[in-house]
Structure 1
Amino acid sequence: MMKFIDLDNRWEQLVLALVVLVFAFIVSLIIKFSINRFVRIASSKLRVDPTKYKFLKNAVDFLVYLIATIIIFKSIPELDAFGNGLLASAGIIAAIVGFASQSAFSNIVSGIFLVIFRPFSVGDRIKVGQLYTGDVEDITLRHTVIRDFENKRIIFPNTVISSEVIINSTTSDEKVCMFVEVGISYSSPIDKAMEIMRSEGENHPYFIDNRSEDDIAANVPSVTVRVIQLADSSVQLRASVWAKDPSTGFAMKCDLLKSIKERFESEGIEIPFPHRVVIMKNQE
């Protein structure tokens, strides 16, 4: 008879644990739904930064399931005794957990600092270090997700991205100045080559005129072309062309490199390539 009572108790405890987990799942869904609804309503009236809300949803999940776990431990005597035993040996466990979770805790703290100081937000286009460029897709308790131009997800631990140099292209002004550099031979006419580069830049559909009223009054060209270097085998020219954002700027630069080369070929302007002179000594 005692065995049946124990079996019934175990089933009750299992059902209780399942009910608590299901309830936690439903509460988490309701809270996340409420946050999403608030963001949608507010974004139609205000310029709402979604970064803090995505981070808040991840934090809510963690807290809800943590509370559910504590309730389950306290409701089941065996688990409660096990938990008390763990607390009794808290010194050793704290040392082990502290050592094991040092990196995770650092990532959480770094994630909180990212949300508070906001060097970037969800949706911004950033460059991390010298290698990775993409759009910020999510900021979680542990890591930041960036979607690059190949639609791949690059996942950075928050401690790593906090210590890197970050170039944010969309913090306040998305306009970007693209440098289009081409080398011409020393025998080619510089003024003609500069005029071709200026004309191609101004005629591109993605080009925008970023001059101020004073620049326009002073007749400053909308596309500036300058000689930036007298290299070993070429004269380096640079055209500064403005676009509305980094994506269109990159496409514009690729188009201009092609169209400028074609115009140079039709106008007889040479784009040189390095030459080497090899001297062979006579061998007996």
Structure 2
Amino acid sequence: MPIKQLILTLCLFPAVLFAQDSIPEVNNDSLIIQLKPVEREVVSAPIVLKGDTIFYVQNWANTFPVEVRSEEVTSRLQKLTKWYDSKKDSIYAKQINDYIAIMYNDDVAFIVTESDASIQQVPLNGLAEVQLVSFINTLNKVEVLSTEEWLKRIGYFAVSLLVLIGFIKLINYLFRRLDKRLSKIEKSFLRKKRNILKYFIPKNTANIFVFLSKIVRIALIVITLFFYAPFMFSFFPWAEKVVHTFYGYISTPVKFVVFGFIDFIPSLFFIIVIGYLARYIVRVLKEIALDVELGNFKITNFHKDWARPTEKIVSIFIYAFALVLIFPYLPGSGSTAFQGVSIFIGAIISFGSTSAIANIIAGIVITYMRPFKIGDRVKIGGIIGDVIDRNTLVTSVRTPKNEDITIPNANILTGNIINYSNNKEANTILYTTITLGYDLPWRKAEELLLQAADRTKLILDDPKPFVLKTSLDDFYVSYQLNVSTKEAKRIPWIYSEIHKNILDVFDEGGVEILSPGYMAARDGSLTTVPSQLKPEDKSPLHKITDHLTGRNQKVTIKKRDEPNNE
């Protein structure tokens, strides 16, 4: 605005502000109205801020009450400018249609209309400029307190501080008496085995009620300080702003959480409904799986041992689908930070669970392959034992020596599995192989092996044991003894008995069980057959050949892999 126009506005403003209206003059005697220019009455009301009148609002009489407008504008300004900061807040004029709005940041402080300008007979822009400057000057006005006013405020602060100290001492006194009574409550409450609250209590706390009482006492003191501190420091304008700023740091996150929770309530109901529905479907599946497992509910071509694994797999998919539906309604699900954390967690799981995923998939495949069940005697990768546990990751086997071995399912799927208990109706055939020289007739060897089988317990007579000649090697014949048994879980003991009986029978028959390329020096000593040895026939030292003196007896070097020409 030009300076000349502003000066003219300032000169006209007081004159218009205190102008008095005149009424038409009436001659009562002649009842003749003498027409003169009509001047309507102007009513004024002040706009007060920080105890000062920044300007007046005016209006014609018998129109909208100017007092109401004054109260509304004054109240709005006091609320908007309560925590005014010249460095952060901005005040400016904004032209809107046929009026000008004086803005305080993004809020409208007050407006200047064409009617206001016409009443005061000044341009609209000039009137708005005058009121804007007066508004800013009032906000930037520094309150100067007298010594008496300072003493009063310090006294009020001291009294309020004493009241606060007395209230806190009263709280501590009342709670001390309360703690004495609570400590007399039976302490056995903490000794209950299912009392989970005792894990959240400090170790030195003897009573949970005393602990809870301390929490309530501290919370009450904190709340008192939170609400009482602004009142104490309100006696000092500079301190009041500091307290307001400090509480702003606290109130901002609290308001964010509270109002965020309020806004989250509709989504919370949706999440509860989806979660409850998913939980209900899973519960029904568990009941069905239990009945299938117990045989109360039969499904064609569906084995009983498939029931529980299938129920777990379907439950996982149901919960995953429910999570997909719930995810968009979670607070902050659309934020970049939330998505970044989700991607990070997913990457960690992907890179760190490769073997776990392989074992899970292998566990699912093994479940539906049904190569063994809990309690079966199996042989997995050279490990023989009974299956005692099986889950999606590993299978546990207990060996005959009571060793619990955990085998990853991925290893089981890539190896061979021998199940000795899978077919309850068929018999398990056990076999063992020995090698004997060509000088022993095969009929004799077969007869001796069958005798050893007859002496072994837990061997079935039907089907009868039999002997197979599995190979004719350079120096020996391989004989395989085959027997049948139904005691698959006692296989190690049966093998031990068979081998023991083979040794006894061959010993009684005078047959040596020699390894290939066996060397024997015959100097008159007897055979290695144990039953043929006698104490008095053992070879003495004088029978050893002394090639140096020539006084040697006839020595026969016999090799089993060469014919005897003697």
On whether the aligned pair clears a TM of 0.5, the verdict is yes
- Quote the residue 2:431 is aligned against: 179
Kindly indicate whether structure 1 or structure 2 has the higher relative contact order, using CA contacts under 8 Å at least 6 residues apart.
1
Which residue of structure 1 aligns with residue 443 of structure 2? 191
The corresponding residue for 1:244 is 486
Question: What corresponds to 2:394 in structure 1?
Answer: 143
| Of 357, 367, 372, the match for 1:115 | 367
- Which residue does 2:469 correspond to in 1? 227
Matched AA of 2:362: S
Note the C-alpha offset of 1:258.
0.8
Contact 2:358 2:410 in 1 (8 A): yes
The residue aligned with 2:358 is 106
Deviation at 1:255, TM superposition (A): 0.9
Quote the offset at 1:159 in angstroms: 2.3
C-alpha separation in 1, matches of 2:319 and 2:507: 67
Whether the 8 Å CA contact 1:54–1:140 is kept in 2: the answer is no
For each residue in 1:113-139, what CA deviation from the matched residue of structure 2 results, as whole angstroms up to 9, or x when unmatched?
2222x241323333223x222222332
| Residue 55, structure 1, aligned to residue 306, structure 2 | no
Aligned-CA RMSD value: 5.0
Query: Partner of 2:404 in structure 1?
Result: 153
- Are 2:383 and 1:132 aligned? yes
State the TM-score, normalized to the length of structure 1. Answer: 0.63
Deviations 1:222-254 (A, max 9, x none): 222233334465433222111124334443232
Q: Please report how far the alpha carbon of residue 75 of structure 1 lies from its aligned counterpart in structure 2 after TM superposition.
A: 11
1:229–1:236 Cα contact (<8 Å) kept? yes
Q: Which amino acid aligns with 2:418?
A: I
Matched, 1:200 2:427: no
Distance 1:146 1:91 in 2: 38
Could you tell me whether the CA contact under 8 Å between 2:377 and 2:489 is conserved in 1? no
1:263 corresponds to 2:517: no
Equivalences, count: 260
How far residue 109 of structure 1 moved from its aligned partner, in angstroms, is: 2.2
How far does residue 40 in structure 1 lie from its aligned partner after superposition? 4.3
Give the Cα separation in 2 of the matches to 1:273 and 1:151. 34
SS at match of 1:145: strand
What SS is found at the alignment partner of 1:236?
A: strand
**What is the CA–CA distance in structure 2 between the aligned matches of 1:245 and 1:227, rounded to whole Å?**
26
Q: Taking structure 2 as the reference length, what is the TM-score of the superposition? A: 0.36
**CA distance, structure 2, for counterparts of residue 54 and residue 109 of structure 1:** 16
Whole-angstrom CA distance in 2 between matches of 1:143 and 1:203? 41
**Is the alpha carbon distance of 1:181 and 1:147 closer, same or farther for their aligned partners in structure 2, counting shifts above 3 Å?**
same
User: In the alignment, is the contact (CA less than 8 A) between 2:292 and 2:304 conserved in 1?
Assistant: no
> What runs of 5+ residues in structure 1 fail to find an aligned partner?
10-27, 212-221, 279-284
Percent identity among equivalent residues? 23
The amino acid of 2:411's aligned partner reads: V
- The verdict on how the C-alpha distance between 1:122 and 1:93 changes in structure 2, with shifts beyond 3 A counting, is same
CA distance in 1, matches of 2:416, 2:482: 25
Quote the Cα distance in structure 1 between the aligned partners of 2:491 and 2:400. Answer: 14
Specify the SS of the correspondent of 1:195.
Answer: helix
Q: Secondary structure at the match of 2:468?
A: strand
8 Å contact kept, 1:54–1:138: no
- Pair 276,64 (structure 1): closer, same or farther in 2 beyond 3 Å: farther
Q: Displaced runs of 4+ in structure 1, greater than 6 A?
A: 28-34, 60-67, 73-78
Change (3 A) 1:139 1:247: closer
Q: Judging changes above 3 Å, is the alpha-carbon distance between structure 1 residues 88 and 249 closer, same or farther for their aligned structure 2 residues?
A: closer
SS of match in other structure, 1:180: strand
